[in-house]
Amino acid sequence: MPTVEIGDLADGDFLLDVREDDEWQAGHAEGALHIPMSEFVARYGELTEAAPQDGRVNVICRSGGRSAQVAMYLVQQGVDAVNVDGGMQVWAASGRPVVDDKGAAGFVP
């Protein structure tokens, strides 16, 4: 499974967050697209509309397990997708900004 380190992501890179609604509401990366893994197949069209046509989809969850599964599915669909190593836990620990569903400072549960 292709992975990317948090430090290798640049501002503006496309990020797909596959955590559940309560996790997202507590804290997420600003600008990320949110499609919970439990709804992913049914909402796949939202990703194809939002993702850059010739860019990479960086898939993130809390620690990397769910995002690895979704990234693998996307690769099987011919999408250039990678799993973000360590997930939102490493994102927050590395000092990257985390916002809640109202745009205020958030946290990773």
Catalytic residues: 61
CB contact at 8 A, 52 and 14 = yes
Sheet of strand 57-60: strand arrangement: 3-4, 81-84, 57-60, 15-17, 33-34
Taking Cα atoms as reference points, which of 75, 74, 70 lies closest to residue 18?
70
User: Which residues does residue 58 pair with via DSSP β-bridges, in sequence order?
Assistant: 15, 82
List Cα–Cα distances, 62 to 9, 14, 51, 55, 95, in angstroms: 17, 17, 21, 23, 15
